[in-house]
Amino acid sequence: STSLFCIYNFILLSLVFLKQGSINFLIPIFFLANVIQILLLSKNNNFEKYVNIYFISFFLIQFIFCILQYTYLTYGFGLKSNVDYEGMIAGTFGNSNDLATILVLFSIFLFINEDLNKKNRSILFFLTLILLLMAVSRFALLVFLIGIFIFYKGKILSKILFIFGSFGILYFIFSVIENYKSIGLEAVDRIVIRLKTIQDVVTDSGVSGDYSIDLRLNSYLYFLKNFQNIGFGTLQYGDYQNFGRYFNGSKDLIFKNPHSLIIEMAYWQGYLGLIFLSFMFFMWVGKSKQIFKILFIIIMISFIPSSVVMNLIFWEASFLLIFYARKIDEKEYKMNINVR
C-alpha cells in the first residue's frame, strides 16, 4: 500500500544516512532500486496520493525539528542541532543548505499540486518561507523567488507586481537589520548577519566582499575557462584536485564539493557524464513545459549545497516531482482529447 511504501522508504533512507560511512556501496544500489520503485508506482492510480503524503509528511517533520531547534538555541529547551555551525537550524539535515534545497522543491510541489485547496496551500507556502528564512540560504531564497515567478499561474502584470512587492519587502527587511544590534540569540543573530551580507553585496562591496559568493563564482568561471580539459573526469567521486592546479582559492573545498551538479558530473565523469545527464534531462522533458521548468529549478538548486550527487532525499524528491508533473500532463491531455 501507499502508506507501507512511505514507511519502507523512510526506514531505508534513515539506515543509509545513519551508517553511510560503513555502507557506501549500498547507496547506488538503493538509488537504482528507488528509481525503479518510483517508476512502477507512477503507473498506480494512487501515485498522486503517495506524492502528497511524501512531501507534506516530510515538510511537517522538518518544520517540527526546526521549531524545536530554534527553541533550543533561544530558550534552552527543544532539540539540539547536529551541525557544526553556530546558530544554524537545519532540521534533520547536517547543513541548512541541504534543508533549503528540499524546501525549494517542496514550494514547486505546492504550485503544481491540484489536490490541496487554496487555503491549505497558502498556509504551507507561508510556512515554507518561514523555514527558508530560518535556514537563511541566500541562493535558496533567490531560487524560491524565481520559482514563484515561473510557476505562478497569473497574468504577467501580477508577476511584475509580485517582483516589485518582493523588492519592497526586501527593502523593509534591510532597513530593519541596518540598525540591528545583537540580542544574544544565536539563531536570530545568524539570520540577520546572513541577510545583511545580501545587502552588503548589492549596495556596497559587491560579490568580492563575501568570501563564499566570491569563491563560488570564481570556481564557476574557472570551470568554463578550463572546460576543454575535462576529458573523462577523475572517475573518483569527491576527489577532483587534478582540475584545480591553477585555481586561486580554497582548492580543498571547491574541488571536493563543487557546489553544482553539472560541474561535479563534469569533474567526476567527464564529457560522458555530461552527455548522460543531458540525455536523461531531455528524455524526461519531452514536450512538457512543466517538466522543463522543474528541471531548470533542480539545476539551479544544485548550486545551493556542497553536493547533491549522493543526497538521496534530493534525488527521490526530484524524481517524484517530475513523475508527478508528468501525471498532471497526462490528465490534461486526456481532458483535452475528451473535449474534442
Q: What is the pLDDT of residues 100-144, one digit of tens each?
A: 999 999 999 998 887 888 888 888 988 998 888 888 788 888 888
pLDDT in tens, 11-30: 555 455 444 444 455 555 66
* Alpha helix (H) residue ranges in 113-137: 118-135
pLDDT score of 101: 92
CA 8 to chain CA centroid, nearest Å: 23
Burial class (CB in 10 A: 0-12, 13-18, 19+), 139: buried
Q: Which three cell numbers stand for residue 197?
A: 551580507
Contact assessment for residue 288 and residue 331, using Cβ atoms and an 8 Å cutoff: no
CA dist 23 → 17, 20, 205, 309 (Å): 9, 5, 45, 16
Task: Kindly report the pTM of this predicted structure.
Answer: 0.81
pLDDT in tens, 164-174: 776 666 666 66
Secondary structure (DSSP) of 82-119: --SSTT---TTSSSHHHHHHHHHHHHHHHHH-SSS-HH
Contact assessment for residue 73 and residue 186, using Cβ atoms and an 8 Å cutoff: yes
Give the pLDDT band of residue 297 (cuts 50, 70, 90).
very high
Q: What is the DSSP letter of 228?
A: G
Q: Which three cell numbers stand for residue 139?
A: 541562493
Q: Give the mean pLDDT of 46-71.
A: 87
pLDDT score of 146: 86
Q: Which three cell numbers stand for residue 51?
A: 506524492
pLDDT score of 338: 64
Which of 21-25, 42-46, 87-91, 171-175 is least confident? Answer: 21-25
Contact assessment for residue 189 and residue 195, using Cβ atoms and an 8 Å cutoff: no
Whether pLDDT at 309 is above 90:
no
Q: Give the mean pLDDT of 160-189.
A: 64
pLDDT score of 241: 85
CA dist 202 → 144, 206, 209 (Å): 18, 6, 10
pLDDT more than 90, % of the chain:
7
CB burial readout 96-115, b (16+ within 10 A) else e: bbbbbbbbbbbbbbbbebee
Indicate the angle between helix axes 26-41 and 312-339, nearest 10 degrees.
20
Q: Give the mean pLDDT of 79-105.
A: 83
Q: How many Cβ atoms are within 10 Å of 238's Cβ, its own excluded?
A: 16
Q: From CA 90, how far away is CA 134, in angstroms rounded?
A: 8
**Phi/psi zone of residue 210: left (φ > 0), alpha (ψ -120 to 50 degrees), beta?**
beta
Contact assessment for residue 69 and residue 78, using Cβ atoms and an 8 Å cutoff: yes
Max CA separation in the chain (angstroms): 65
pLDDT score of 46: 79
CA atoms within 13 A on the CB side of 14: 8
CA dist 191 → 82, 96, 198 (Å): 18, 12, 11
pLDDT score of 109: 92
pLDDT score of 172: 65
pLDDT score of 171: 63
Q: What stretch of H or E contains 152? A: none
Q: From CA 188, how far away is CA 62, in angstroms rounded?
A: 18
The pLDDT mean for the chain works out to: 77
Whether pLDDT at 99 is above 70:
yes
Whether pLDDT at 337 is above 80:
no
Give the pLDDT band of residue 188 (cuts 50, 70, 90).
low
pLDDT score of 23: 43
Q: From CA 267, how far away is CA 256, in angstroms rounded?
A: 10
pLDDT score of 48: 84
pLDDT score of 19: 45
**Number of DSSP helices (H) and strands (E) in the chain, helices first:** 13, 0
